[in-house]
Structure 1
């Protein structure tokens, strides 16, 4: 199987070379036990203009073949780091990929499987290949993706989304999860498992939700709503009603709810819940404080209700989150 990895300017070098390394390991794991000399995968790096590109780290990524001379069965589009940050940087990040839109479209029409890593999904979307499909991307880029491509159903909580001929992987290191999945699909589950063991990959991740952070979406022009957001960030741990926040904004309650949703994409209650969850996550990461005290400290009296909200939003329990992300040394027993 021929695989082309597309390296774009400002890409994650690891997302290009890591994919190459993974399929090299797959070749080893697939052929050594069988005593076979034939490679399962011929994996090559291509660029838009066949010239080297500079990764975000400053490393130079060099194509291994000319794009026009290689006929892939699978194309993996790598990420561009700054695509997730702002609309201005997104435009600059996507511009270099415009010349390969036609190449991707023609490949799709020939039956080539297309895959994206992280913000590589933007390239497929720009080429019109994800319209009326389900997709995922880096969780930080979710709001930009959703507003730019209303015809695409974005499910950024998922780490992998498979539409059959198009597969999207979420965050930057999701290339590892994508590679395991691709080897399982195009070689065998046993080869994929052998690769995971060889590369010491622990299990299969399914969701991005535990890694998501809430950003307070203030890049709008509504000063009254921005004032309310700032007030909520300072008073989230107190008993708060929507009427209270509307009064801070100097608006009637109905008008406030409508304008808050228009400006932030969230309801006021949803926004407050996100603030409280982020505060709880920070405490779980940075302290040994009991979970019940954390819940009370972020403004919830009903611990069971907050635990359900936390699990629904973050994708794991508070205890599981602390075990995975705490950077505090456990107390000696």
Structure 2
């Protein structure tokens, strides 16, 4: 039997913690042995062995004494406010500090460690991700990179497996993580049976379709803020970086350096991201033809923009619209023309 400890943190995604429990219980049902012994024994633990209040207000109660457990697998649940409020992160990690020694000892014993969403902050703070690849929620990516430069963040990926340490991005990615863990620790057949019973698709691979431009303004460089504001107003125009540098009151070389230091992006890449975000919004909220959308966001070369969009978002413009559009085409009375209805 495989022993699993699920760490619940204050302000956690409570349904994610209980969802991991439910998933492994489903795996026990799907993979039940003739002896009746379950495949997995799951327990919820906390830093101080006391109940924690989830972000929604739901109470999450530990089911075992943490120090008494010797698990084969530890899953660190998300602390949702790390995504919602950046300045909360340090307070959240201070509360998690009693976990660090326990996690480090487990890692030394060869225990498999996994994180969901911003649970990766706990593993990184404990020094367990140094030199490894990781992922986290896309909205927390800028802060993660700032705090943990020794970790190779692959935020576009929904699941990153280093062997002993596995990270999943996004709060509901616990289902993708559990599917992967059941396949790895039990069998692909049991994982497939869980997928069918829980009516889950096969594992998602990327976060990119869900990402939006966020977190590039947490810096304190007022000149770069000014340039960003101008670019956000004029992204559809012909934009010359030398001119944007002038708006910021900087020389071109200084502007490029400071822009990258402040945002983690080059000015050109930031402009491309603005145009992709504008296209995503139009695909979600209108029935305009894709060629018209490409022109509206400032591109004349449709093929070039389509390649940029797919590389950035992980799917074509048509696939994105099919997945995320919230408008319904409606024929105008007597005209035969189509209009949008939300």
Q: TM-score, normalised by structure 1?
A: 0.96
Decide whether aligned partners of structure 1 residues 191 and 216 sit closer, same or farther in structure 2, where only a CA change above 3 A counts.
closer
For residue 9 of structure 1, what is the aligned residue in structure 2?
10
Decide whether aligned partners of structure 1 residues 38 and 259 sit closer, same or farther in structure 2, where only a CA change above 3 A counts.
same
Deviations 1:260-295 (A, max 9, x none): 222222111111111000000001111111000000
CA contact (8 A) 1:284 1:322 kept: yes
- Counterparts of 1:239-250 in structure 2, within 5 Å, are 239-250=238-249
**Partners of 1:182 and 1:150 in 2: CA distance:** 27
Mean CA deviation greater in 83-92 or 118-127: 83-92
Q: Runs of 5+ in structure 1 lacking a partner? A: none
CA contact (8 A) 2:139 2:215 kept: no
**Partners of 2:329 and 2:67 in 1: CA distance:** 55
**Partners of 1:281 and 1:216 in 2: CA distance:** 18
For residue 257 of structure 1, what is the aligned residue in structure 2?
256
Deviations 1:65-93 (A, max 9, x none): 11122221100000101112454211011
For residue 300 of structure 1, what is the aligned residue in structure 2?
299
Superposed CA RMSD in Å reads 1.4
For residue 156 of structure 2, what is the aligned residue in structure 1?
157
Q: Runs of 5+ in structure 2 lacking a partner? A: 332-337
- Counterparts of 1:49-88 in structure 2, within 5 Å, are 49-88=48-87
- Counterparts of 1:207-226 in structure 2, within 5 Å, are 207-215=206-214, 217-226=216-225
- Counterparts of 1:170-209 in structure 2, within 5 Å, are 170-209=169-208
Q: Does 1:317 align with 2:316?
A: yes
For residue 120 of structure 2, what is the aligned residue in structure 1?
121
- Counterparts of 1:87-166 in structure 2, within 5 Å, are 87-166=86-165
**Partners of 2:215 and 2:267 in 1: CA distance:** 12
User: How many positions carry a matched residue from both structures?
Assistant: 331
**Partners of 1:219 and 1:192 in 2: CA distance:** 41
**Partners of 1:154 and 1:266 in 2: CA distance:** 15
Q: TM-score, normalised by structure 2?
A: 0.94
